[in-house]
Homo-oligomer: A and B are copies of this chain.
Amino acid sequence: MDTQHYLQAAERLCAANGGKLTELRRQVLELVLGYPGVVKAYQVLADLQRDRGAAAPPTVYRALDYLAQYGMLHRVDALNGYIVCHHFECSHQALILACEQCGGVEELDADATFQSLSQTTARAGFVPRAQSLVLTGSCKHCQP
């Protein structure tokens, strides 16, 4: 999916949730799209300041939170960062592997794993927050 189609899909997703892909949100989403892997809020903030003169932390955090809330981005807790989700229109569950060394990200289908996971958590009456599961570790190019 190229950037144009991706942004159009993002617009549709916002609209479907009663919101809008505002100029700021689009700009932030494009900035994150420009990185191959994990990007940090303060990096996006710096980019934003370069592009539009002024911006403060809440500006970028609000946009990132919004985009993550509807699945266009995923937050990678272990790295205090964000990644683009390229599957937000698909129904299948993605397993995200984020490399701590190179910052690269890979998304895999993991329906089987998710079935197993959700059965286990359901048995405990527990509802996981994240739609997608993010693991950190070492990718095949960065093995120790």
A residues at B contact (CB < 8 Å): 77-78, 95, 97, 99-100, 106, 108, 110, 112-113, 116-117, 120-121, 123-130, 133, 135-140, 143
Contact = CB atoms under 8 A, between A and B. Distances in A.
Copies of this protein, total: 2
A127 to B, nearest CB: 5
25 contacts: A77-B77, A77-B78, A95-B121, A97-B121, A97-B126, A106-B124, A108-B121, A108-B124, A110-B116, A112-B116, A113-B113, A113-B117, A113-B120, A117-B135, A121-B135, A121-B137, A125-B139, A125-B140, A125-B143, A126-B135, A126-B137, A126-B140, A128-B135, A130-B136, A130-B137
Question: 3 tightest CB-CB pairs across the interface, nearest first?
Answer: A125-B140, A77-B77, A128-B137
